[in-house]
Amino acid sequence: MGVERVEVIAPKPQGTIPDEFIRSENEQPGITTVHGKVLEVPTIDFSDPDEQKLIRQIAEASSNWGMYQIVNHDIPSEAIRNLQAVGTEFFELPQEEKEAYAKPLDSDSMEGYGTKLFKEFSDGNVTKKGWVDHMFNKIWPPSVINYQFWPKNPPSYREANEEYAKHMHKVVEKLFRLLSLGLGLEGQEFKKASGGDDLIYLLKINYYPPCPRPDLALGVVAHTDMSIVTILVPNDVQGLQASRDGRWYDVRYIPNALVIHIGDQMEIMSNGKYKSVLHRTTVNKEKTRISWPVFLEPPADHVIGPLPQLVNQENPPKYKTKTYGEYVYCKLNKIPQ
């Protein structure tokens, strides 16, 4: 098997967790979470007929928060339920069946079933890990899909993911247009700068099994997303946290809402006007948390930098221009950008 999965470790009868999952005190959610207060990130009605109001809300939330939730987004509830059902069913399969879709250890691709993603770091002699397993699949455009990593069981996995991608495509087109207009750009500018029709939708299923010590562990450590934008749906188990004024808060769960994260590439393209959000994930003692983020990414060889329209003598470029592949390599290997 090569890598011990978190969902294999989780059921072991023990009152604690292995040392590699215990975070330092300045990360432990039991210490660092603001308890008793849920963060009300902006909630935006995506169907609002007042487009100018919608543009303003999206721009303000992207600038001041970097995270918001959109409701009335026209992705049918059934499509979300089906996506979540097949993902949950996959992770409930026998371990050996899931391992058939494991990401090869020597692969540069993110696709497949796996456990670790970011380069792990050492605290003394202990390598730290997140309490999470995952599955990555590219779901759009059709030209980049590799069905080798799409589970054949449950049988409806492909249909549910393709249906979700079809609806997601409409949301993305509208969101990118609103983000462009919010900075006074032509409506297609961010789409063009992101790779146009070659924009990749990378779906990740995060699977966080019950954890005996959720006060000590994190599912995913504090980070900003490498993507342009991330669009996420979780199950109903609390876990998403955002950093606000240097403190960590639970983000309120809204059924069927899409959680929007502004990613690093959008911050770069907007020359810092839109802010990539710092967030992390906690785990639960009794319940399994699962989330389905879709990372909107340019092709690896696509060059990303501040848009020329947003740069002038008073606002010089704040970020380097480089290919997305170069950016990802540096971030995953913790090389300064």
Measured in degrees and rounded to the nearest 5, phi and psi for residue 67 equal -145, 135
169 is catalytic: no
Contact between residue 184 and residue 282 where contact means Cβ atoms under 8 Å apart: no
Half-sphere exposure of 148 (CA within 13 A, CB side): 9
Cα–Cα distance measured from residue 217 to residue 28, given in angstroms and rounded to the nearest whole number = 6
The SS3 of residue 51 is helix
- Catalytic position from the list 192, 223, 287, 318: 223
123 is catalytic: no
- Catalytic position from the list 103, 204, 273, 275: 204
- Catalytic position from the list 138, 273, 279, 331: 279
302 is catalytic: no
Helix 77-91 and helix 157-181, axial crossing angle in degrees, nearest 10: 130
Cis, peptide link before residue 141, omega less than 30° from 0: yes
- The beta strand positions in the chain, using DSSP E, are 33-39, 43-45, 67-71, 112-114, 122-123, 126-127, 133-140, 200-208, 220-223, 229-234, 240-244, 247-251, 258-262, 279-281, 289-297, 303-304, 322-323
- Spell out the residues 6+ positions from residue 3 whose beta carbon is closer than 8 angstroms to its own: 102, 105, 114, 115, 116
Alpha-carbon radius of gyration of the chain: 19
The SS3 of residue 12 is coil
For the stretch 9-12, contacts whose Cβ atoms lie closer than 8 Å and that sit 24 or more positions apart, written own/partner, are 10/131, 10/209, 10/210, 10/211, 11/209
Contact between residue 277 and residue 65 where contact means Cβ atoms under 8 Å apart: yes
Beta bridge partners of 230: 261, 295
Cα–Cα distance measured from residue 311 to residue 313, given in angstroms and rounded to the nearest whole number = 7
Measured in degrees and rounded to the nearest 5, phi and psi for residue 221 equal -70, 170
Beta bridge partners of 206: 134, 291
223 is catalytic: yes
Indicate which residues carry an active-site annotation. 204, 223, 225, 279
